[in-house]
Structure 1
């Protein structure tokens, strides 16, 4: 059975900003913070969480009493089980999903490295992450289109330092190229969608906000500045687009920060699209 491995592995503390790793490596557990300090912070976090639960319980009871008191009155607001979905995000998802593909690479030993990618022009060039393509060690790359078709992809070129690779599929793929956000247009706090194939689930869309810009992170042995987001990013999302409410790509999803090897904890990183576009244009110019 194929092993899903989209983000390489759900990689851990080395993706956290160096600015946050104030304590240096821990020879005992290797998580960059003394055990005693972590324990103290966990106790504080637990106390805070209990306080939040208590506050939520009280506020929920008060809100419930108010809603009950309004029941049956003309013009009373209708109770809603969930917040409404902003229509601009629905429109953005509709624009983006047709241009996003799943990337599958034979990683050997019966396993398949999976990731995502997106079309950037009418020539059917696709941007993805180098660490996905690199898992194949030169083996064939297959792309699955949004309508479920599978076709071979040519690796036009790749750049390990920026973690960007460019693929090309046949014209009959008919992928919709995605619009790219203008440099400097992305703002902290604006809503974004992460689109891709986490755990092989093609066409998955998750929502969040831009948490930070120009976040210094360590990706492997290199340091980069990234767009930080709390949109859920999991193995298989790598190489997929992070898009704004206008359906414009603001970054290429590439990594997550984890705790003790767990999955997404709401801290994900994307390569800024202006950097990715510059690298991709260079690759396409050299490779065709």
Structure 2
């Protein structure tokens, strides 16, 4: 069977919820190790199965009631039609994809891959610092939306915020993405995660903003993150989370997983207010 090789740190830095265990210890998003962790996993799975059983019973009851109610009503002509994709999300995807790149870093620390997006007209690219750090920033290459490969310069890094800024040659011709206004993001609004999950550049996944100011531990630092249920998978790290207007509301950085699995609909992005502040500081120092 072919081995899947994708772009990106599989889960970004480890995500640990401060509320999962006493003292904020939490559990890493990858599978834990040892008998104690196994016991915890077993208890968690039993609780999950019990919850799913309740959901299944509720769903069955709801289905019976729904069948009875539907028998009393005359179905409309479009009852079985699939809901169309909102036009504003289609336009947002079309506007965002031309400004998003795939990133590969090769160095003594190994190879790391992820995504990034154009910040301005002088071809500064924002990405996650953990992508650059894993390869020690020795050799950074980007792939543009039209498939061209070119070297990128590391302008600067900020490990505490997990933000790094690159600069690519003017020939890249990347379209800078507009940034959402501070405080404008709302819970429930539709968003798109754009990047190169599993080595598939220009991929867009849709969801909503699930929560704001979510306190999570990413790597060794605590962050106030934007939570989303848009699918974020290996390769999305560093890519933009954009709203229906095509504005960047955050930088995708990590996901929560169950026993090391892929996306389960809980992802986290660094808020754009923080991203912009850190990026401006890095650019001001590094040019």
TM-score (norm 1): 0.85
Question: Is the 1:6–1:132 contact (alpha carbons within 8 Å) kept by the matching residues of 2?
Answer: yes
Structure 2 residue aligned with 1:219: 218
Question: Are positions 1:156 and 2:159 aligned together?
Answer: no
For the residues of structure 2 that align with 1:2 and 1:207, how far apart are their CA atoms?
23
Question: Is the 2:193–2:205 contact (alpha carbons within 8 Å) kept by the matching residues of 1?
Answer: yes
Q: Residue deviations 1:155-189, cap 9 Å, x none? A: 11111111111111111111110010011111111
For the residues of structure 1 that align with 2:133 and 2:44, how far apart are their CA atoms?
38
Deviation at 1:269, TM superposition (A): 0.9
**C-alpha RMSD of matched pairs (Å):** 2.9
Structure 2 residue aligned with 1:127: 126
Deviation at 1:61, TM superposition (A): 6.4
Superposed counterparts of 1:22-33, under 5 Å: 22=22, 24=25
For the residues of structure 1 that align with 2:222 and 2:26, how far apart are their CA atoms?
17
Structure 1 residue aligned with 2:8: 6
Structure 2 residue aligned with 1:79: 80
For the residues of structure 2 that align with 1:62 and 1:158, how far apart are their CA atoms?
57
Deviation at 1:265, TM superposition (A): 1.6
Query: Unpaired segments of 5 or more residues in structure 2?
Result: none
Question: Are positions 1:47 and 2:46 aligned together?
Answer: no
For the residues of structure 1 that align with 2:102 and 2:280, how far apart are their CA atoms?
21
- SS of structure 2 residue aligned to 1:179: coil
Question: Is the 1:114–1:200 contact (alpha carbons within 8 Å) kept by the matching residues of 2?
Answer: no
Structure 1 residue aligned with 2:89: 89
For the residues of structure 1 that align with 2:51 and 2:180, how far apart are their CA atoms?
38
Deviation at 1:138, TM superposition (A): 3.2
* Cα 1:42/1:124, change in 2 over 3 Å: same
Question: Is the 1:70–1:76 contact (alpha carbons within 8 Å) kept by the matching residues of 2?
Answer: no
* Cα 1:11/1:240, change in 2 over 3 Å: closer
Query: Unpaired segments of 5 or more residues in structure 1?
Result: none
* Cα 1:51/1:141, change in 2 over 3 Å: same
* Cα 1:236/1:34, change in 2 over 3 Å: closer
- Number of residue pairs the alignment of both structures matches: 278
TM-score (norm 2): 0.85
For the residues of structure 2 that align with 1:44 and 1:142, how far apart are their CA atoms?
45
For the residues of structure 1 that align with 2:142 and 2:62, how far apart are their CA atoms?
49
- Report the more deviating stretch, 148-157 or 52-61: 52-61
Question: Is the 1:129–1:165 contact (alpha carbons within 8 Å) kept by the matching residues of 2?
Answer: yes
Structure 2 residue aligned with 1:16: 16
Question: Are positions 1:145 and 2:138 aligned together?
Answer: no
For the residues of structure 1 that align with 2:73 and 2:258, how far apart are their CA atoms?
45
Question: Is the 2:16–2:26 contact (alpha carbons within 8 Å) kept by the matching residues of 1?
Answer: no
Question: Are positions 1:173 and 2:172 aligned together?
Answer: yes
For the residues of structure 1 that align with 2:4 and 2:37, how far apart are their CA atoms?
38
Structure 2 residue aligned with 1:239: 238
Q: Structure 1: which 4+ aligned runs deviate by more than 6 Å?
A: 33-37
Deviation at 1:221, TM superposition (A): 1.2
Deviation at 1:62, TM superposition (A): 6.5
Deviation at 1:67, TM superposition (A): 8.3
- SS of structure 2 residue aligned to 1:46: helix
Question: Is the 1:11–1:258 contact (alpha carbons within 8 Å) kept by the matching residues of 2?
Answer: no
